[in-house]
Structure 1
Amino acid sequence: MSVIDDRLAERGLVLPQPARPPAGFAFSFDWVKVVGNRVIVSGHSPQGEDGRLIGPFGKVPSEVSLDDATTAARATVLSVLGSVRRAIGDLDRITSWVSVSGMVNADSGYGETTNAINGFSDLVLDLFGPEVGAHARTAVGYAALPLNNAVVVAAELQI
């Protein structure tokens, strides 16, 4: 096992299978694109172990609480890592989390998007440590997100 696999196991965390689109929907893009030592990660949302999208779905905070959005952002790390592992193999190959772009399906005027995406950043730092896990970040609110997900996160990594 790799160091990151050990840390995931210690925390009882399991990476999901590849994302399964809901009925009538197709994913016509690469979840991860490796270009040299750059790993570009498409927007991900929380998935169950079987790969299905599990939400929460709706606007923050009127339909999804900030706590639930933060938990969703944390769970999104697992979705991202599952896709990255399938693309590069060993997660220990990651040398830097360069940037994270967090999107929150937010009510108009909602100003706590940063707090929601902290769930993602905090788990990345916990798993990878400050040397590899520290990253630049954007956390913004949108009027709508794909499939009404509360949180979507994209990233750029270096291997």
Structure 2
Amino acid sequence: MSAEKRLAELGISLPSAPAPLANYVPWRIGGGLLFLSGVGPRRADGSNIIGVLGADLDVKAGYEGARLCGLNLLANMRAALGSLDRVDTILKVLGMVRGTPEFGEQPEVINGCTDLFVEVFGDAGRPARSAVGMGSLPRGIAVEIEAVVLIR
């Protein structure tokens, strides 16, 4: 099934592709690969999930933040490729979680993004992945995620 049809079946509408906040591009294509810059947990109204996992936020809030990152990555994929149907495989995801030094549930947080990718792309959405803790992230966001995609 097409990823675009699957998205519609799931009742998911993508946000507009987020604009860069600094001197970088949202994506680059090379060698049949789409390299996606990191995106934050931006909501449809433009606000972000701000805070520290293990202090201000729990795993459920972090998971929601990672899902929002996934939606923003999907929006950038569509903007870069014209259609999500051009995605062959999500190869790699790097998830960064702003947490207390004791917080150790980064994998459960980043599942918010990769669960979404599997919902949309099936097994082709299950990437190699890193989920790491950070002391800070830009503008206080709770989660940032970047990805590498094989283009069909």
Q: Which runs of 4+ in 1 moved over 6 A?
A: none
1:37-68 CA deviation, whole Å, 9 max, x = no partner?
11101111122336x2x321010021111101
Report the TM-score, using the length of structure 1 for normalisation. 0.88
Picking from 22, 47, 57, the partner of 1:27 is 22
1:20 CA drift (Å): 4.9
Which AA in structure 2 matches 1:13?
A: I
In structure 2, the residue matched to 1:158 is: 150
1:110 matched to 2:103: yes
Report the TM-score, using the length of structure 2 for normalisation. 0.92
Please tell me whether the aligned partners of residues 16 and 47 of structure 1 are also in contact (alpha carbons under 8 angstroms): no
In structure 2, the residue matched to 1:57 is: 50
**2:130 partner SS:** strand
Q: Percent identity?
A: 32
Q: In 1, Cα distance between the equivalents of 2:133 and 2:111?
A: 14
Alignment of 1:104-143 (within 5 A): 104-130=97-123, 132-143=124-135
In structure 1, the residue matched to 2:59 is: 66
In structure 2, the residue matched to 1:6 is: 5
Q: CA RMSD in A?
A: 1.6
**2:119 partner SS:** helix
In structure 2, the residue matched to 1:38 is: 33
| Structure 2: runs of 5 or more not aligned | none
The count of residues paired between Structure 1 and Structure 2 equals 151
Alignment of 1:78-89 (within 5 A): 78-89=71-82
